[in-house]
Amino acid sequence: MKKKATTIYSLGRDLSVAPATISKALNHSPEISPELRAKIQKAAEAQGFKPRKINKRCINIGLLVQNYENHPFDFTSNFFGMILEGVARYTNEENIELSLFARNVDYLNSADLVRVLKRNGIDGVVIMCANNSSEFYTQLERQNFPYYSLISNNGKSDERLLKIDDYKVGYTAARYLIDLGHKEIGVIESPADSPTEARRLEGVKAAFAETGIDPAGLFMQKTMPIPYGYEGGKLAAIKLMQENKRISAIFATSNEFATGALNGLWGMGLKVPEDVSLIACDDYPQSAYTTPPLTTIDIPNREIGYICAKQVHRLIKNEPLLDSSIYVNSGGKLVIRESCAAQKSTRRSV
């Protein structure tokens, strides 16, 4: 009769110790006394037992996306695609895993988040779309869970935050329109309570103040939570032009808003840039192929995603963080195309 193979359980029974003790002894754990460790190792060798080698688990970086109430995140957006492309390029280069974790802000704030993330095998997170309501940062800090925020955070600290100079983004866009002679400018902004939007609007207002233009010529219009994106931009542009017929230029704080605004203005019989100039944040591939091609502020979203993933990886490995000031001090790059023109003394009525 063939002798049964020795297992960790049979070895434990023979020595009257728990299987966990056998495992620790064979792995040279200091929790086991030298005498017992030697006894177990001698018995295992005599019976030809070798513990099964366990492959080291691959590091997993999570892309944590915060959703807003009544404001669903668009995972088909170019912004998300470019960020994801940057994060994925880094994880591919390092041969580590990438997970997507998207939840409503109420869930993130109320859940035992670190436990949930670890249960999903996530070792650290790149955080997207955080805002002033993001209370879950306190838990991440308290439990020393590796994270790095992308573009925005809860507004309480600039530590572990890779952002650009949003003040400069708003200033650059507004100053470009002002230098073209525009004094009545509309701004299409997100409905979310975002520090990013607030800083961009501060930059717009600074450009008005610096050039001595009456701030009464600045008109704000938040998009509706639903519909969002292209349709939200379209409806916001229509409302802006219907309520403020003096507007000669629009700054859209997202590329989707601007593309939707193009359609809305066209539907009203207004031409871009002959009747209304239009400038957008973010330079996406289609920006060069709209009619007319969009003038934009190009923000390096791919690079930002890549560097954020790299920073999280370094935190996981207990390595010092890299200097990211090159991005923090950047206000994007103005890409001039054909959607902006000098203000005319008269334009078509709405």
Q: What value does the mean pLDDT take over residues 32-43?
A: 86
Q: What value does the mean pLDDT take over residues 231-258?
A: 93
User: What is the extent of the structural domain holding 228?
Assistant: 166-299
Clarify whether residues 305 and 281 are in a common domain: no
Clarify whether residues 247 and 102 are in a common domain: no
For the cut 50, the answer to whether the pLDDT of residue 101 exceeds it is yes
Q: How many domains does the chain have?
A: 3
For the cut 70, the answer to whether the pLDDT of residue 123 exceeds it is yes
Q: How far is CA 124 from the centre of its chain?
A: 14
What pLDDT score does 346 carry?
47
Judged by average pLDDT, the poorest of 118-127, 191-200, 301-310 is 191-200
Q: Are 287 and 278 a contacting pair, CB within 8 Å?
A: no
Q: Are 153 and 140 a contacting pair, CB within 8 Å?
A: no
Q: Are 189 and 220 a contacting pair, CB within 8 Å?
A: yes
Judged by average pLDDT, the poorest of 43-52, 156-165, 284-293 is 43-52
Residue type, 81: G
Q: What percent of the chain clears pLDDT 90, i.e. is strictly above it?
A: 59
Within a domain: residue 312?
yes
For the cut 70, the answer to whether the pLDDT of residue 73 exceeds it is no
pTM exceeds 0.85 for this model: no
For the cut 60, the answer to whether the pLDDT of residue 350 exceeds it is no
Task: Compute the distance between CA of residue 214 and CA of residue 210 in angstroms, rounded to an integer.
Answer: 11
Q: What is the CATH number of the domain that holds 180?
A: 3.40.50.2300
Mean residue pLDDT of the chain comes to 88
Judged by average pLDDT, the poorest of 213-222, 249-258, 275-284 is 213-222
